Amino acid sequence: MRRRLALLVAATTSLVLIAFLVPLALLIKTVAADRAVNAATLQAQSLVSIVATSPRSTVSLTVDQVNASGSARVTVFFDDGRQLGRPMTRSAAVELAMRGRSLSVEEPGGRQVLVYVQTVAGAPAVIATFVDDAELRQGVGRAWLMLGLLGVLLMAAGIVVADRLARSMVRPITEVSAVSLRLARGDLDARASRSGPPEIQDVAAALNHLAGRIRDLMREEREAAADLSHRLRTPLTVLRLDTEALPDGEDSERIRADVDNLERAVSQLIADSRRPTGNGAIESDAAQVVHDRLDFWSALAEDTGREVRAEIDSGPVPVAVAADTLAAAVDALLGNVFAHTPDGTAFAVTLHAGADGGVRLMVFDDGPGFGQGAGSAITRGASGRGSTGLGLDIARRAARAGGGDLAVESAPDGGARVTLTFATRELVADAEQPQT
């Protein structure tokens, strides 16, 4: 913005200076030429009385003295064809002046001034002087240089003033942009100072009001989630007591482990609802998380006769998302495989770090796929298969929290393919830097 304002002022100032300085420069040139011509005319007129009344010998001596002391070339033409002074061509202008007319004419290399004189004998004569181009332009170059310097100084002053004005406007805009990025990262205490032009102050006030409203809504949402999670404590306690009453055996151990996992999930949900959002330092090892969740789901896959294929880069594979959030996303994707494909359907999980610093997590199965509804499968709360419709949305939100996104598609040979992309913490931080 500062650069555009400076260019605008430079263009406007240039037009004004051109409209002012060009006519002034032409006027200076004209004035300088008129000054030189007038000086030559006065010099020629000073000889009129001598040419009119003196003999030619006196006229010749006087003209030679003038030519020796002055820069102008003076020549006196007589009607009988003779001329005194410096040799000069008897042009048509001289013949015209012989008829009683004083004038000045343009000649190659300068200007010729002709003054008519009538001698005491009644014969006409013409005093001619020549002013060259150098004398016609004397002082013009220096004057033009001064005008050019004045124009440059005026333009520089205009650009400096415009830059200071633009800086006073850009600084509050940059601050508002930085505050908006802090709010996007979850720093709900960020506030913009009300400075700059009134319009920008209104934007800062609106942003601060929005930030306060977002903080209130987030607090209410966290409190509601914490209350709901806490209400699950009682049925979980009852369920745990019931599992304790079961006889020892493989089934009871599995049920107790499931209850433990459920209780950890509820506890984690309560902790997440109380934890402030926007921790820019969050990072986890995707390889470790995916390995852990595959170990958990592999037991169920073995019970249902599913083949599990895994291709996971050796860790660590850092991503800019919390471990529990990533684990919830992986559980959502693998849970969909078990929920929406028949027993015995094989599935695979791949995790690879790209050369650009991004990480790609892919889960695909040999089931029926998404059919024609691949695009609507990630719509939150929408499901055509009797589920909650939240699984893929949970995964998508996890991917976006890690600077990536989610994509779903049906494989050409059948089956569903879900791809999550993540970025490292450094890439996310670079993307969130304000642009000025």
Half-sphere exposure of 416 (CA within 13 A, CB side): 25
Q: Which domain holds residue 137?
A: 2-141
260 band by pLDDT with thresholds 50, 70 and 90: confident
Specify the higher pLDDT residue, 186 or 400.
400
- 138/119 Cα distance (integer angstroms): 35
What's 394's domain CATH number? 3.30.565.10
Which of the residue ranges 7-16, 150-159, 241-250, 424-433 would you say has the lowest mean pLDDT? 424-433
Closest of 412, 404, 335 to residue 370, by C-alpha? 412
Q: Are 131 and 110 in contact (CB under 8 A)?
A: yes
How many domains are there within the chain?
2
Q: Are 207 and 176 in contact (CB under 8 A)?
A: yes
Could you tell me if residue 218 is inside a domain? no
Which SS3 state, helix, strand or coil, does residue 39 take? helix
| Structural domain ending residue among the three candidates 141, 159, 190 | 141
- CA angle centred on 388, ends 387 and 392, rounded to 5°: 95
- 363/311 Cα distance (integer angstroms): 11
Could you tell me if residue 87 is inside a domain? yes
**pLDDT tens digits, one per residue of 299-341:** 888 888 989 999 998 878 888 888 888 888 898 899 888 888 8
Could you tell me if residue 181 is inside a domain? no
Could you tell me if residue 272 is inside a domain? no
Q: In terms of DSSP H, where are the helices of 131-197?
A: 133-136, 140-184
What's 89's domain CATH number? 3.30.450.160
pLDDT at 350 over 60: yes
**pLDDT tens digits, one per residue of 87-114:** 888 888 888 988 888 888 888 888 889 9
Encoded tokens for 322: 């919390």
pTM: 0.46
pLDDT for the residue 149 = 92
Specify the higher pLDDT residue, 70 or 147.
147
| Structural domain ending residue among the three candidates 90, 113, 141 | 141
pLDDT for the residue 363 = 92
pLDDT at 190 over 90: no
Q: Are 269 and 327 in contact (CB under 8 A)?
A: no
pLDDT for the residue 110 = 86
Peptide bond into 108 cis (omega under 30): no
Q: What is the mean pLDDT of the chain?
A: 82
Neighbouring residues of 346: CB distance < 8 A, sequence distance ≥ 6: 306, 307, 308, 309, 365, 366
Specify the higher pLDDT residue, 26 or 283.
26
**Which strand (E) or helix (H) includes residue 395?**
helix 391-401
Closest of 347, 362, 430 to residue 395, by C-alpha? 362
Encoded tokens for 355: 């050369």
Could you tell me if residue 335 is inside a domain? yes
**pLDDT tens digits, one per residue of 122-171:** 889 998 998 888 888 888 889 999 988 998 898 888 888 888 888 877 88
Could you tell me if residue 168 is inside a domain? no
| Structural domain ending residue among the three candidates 141, 172, 188 | 141
Could you tell me if residue 301 is inside a domain? yes
pLDDT for the residue 27 = 92
What size, in residues, is the chain?
436
Strand partners, 363: 349, 418
Report CA-CA distances (Å) from 260 to 231, 253, 256, 289: 17, 10, 6, 18
pLDDT for the residue 263 = 74
Could you tell me if residue 222 is inside a domain? no
